[in-house]
Amino acid sequence: MEKKTIETNYTVYNFDELSESYQMLINKAKEQVSKAYAPYSGFSVGAAVELENGEIFAGSNQENSAYPSGLCAERVAMFYANAQFPNVAVKSMAIVAFTKGIFLPDPITPCGSCRQVLLETEMRFDQNINILLYGTKNTYLIENVKELLPLCFEKSSLQG
């Protein structure tokens, strides 16, 4: 028997400490929460994706009366970006959450299904995606999606 440990690395910033381009991407994600359709949870999420060519695509969560049919902000934004530029790598993504009238002080992290989708994009272009998880108190910078999804299932897993 051998016990193993996996670590996740991330850096915690104050908003003011972030680069201008990261601040701008977070602001794009913040703008999106007013466009969320979240009548069931009252929990609005905004996500913004920056591509290697400088294009930015943003999205918000879209809920449905048949709950599982809705989609998280991260997948709305990522699929939107990949659908417009299928041959351009994604550089970074910002994620923010808003509920009960405030942006949350500490970040939320993407759900498991979103992590799987973000990972596919990271691997598809063979380029790290920097993930910015915004909170009014703390913002986390995670340097690649793999950090968020260790022991993942991916393309090569299909080879058996």
Active site residues: 74
93: buried, middle or exposed (CB in 10 Å: 19+, 13-18, 0-12)? buried
Beta carbons of 73 and 47 less than 8 angstroms apart: yes
Q: Which one, 39 or 160, has the nearer CB to ligand THU?
A: 39
77 binds ligand THU (CB under 6 A): no
Q: What's the chain's Rg over C-alpha atoms? A: 16
Distance of alpha carbon 49 from alpha carbon 77, whole angstroms = 7
Of 25, 33, 58, 72, the residue at the interface with ligand THU (CB under 6 A) is: 72
Which residues, 6 or more positions from 144, have their beta carbon under 8 angstroms from its beta carbon?
Answer: 122, 128, 129, 130, 131
Which of the residues 107 through 136 are near ligand THU (CB under 6 A)? 108, 110-111, 114
Q: Which stretch binds ligand THU (CB under 6 A): 22-30, 82-90, 105-113, 131-139?
A: 105-113
Rounded least distance, CB 99 to ligand THU, Å = 9
Binding region for ligand THU (CB under 6 A):
38, 41, 43, 45, 61, 63, 70, 72-74, 108, 110-111, 114
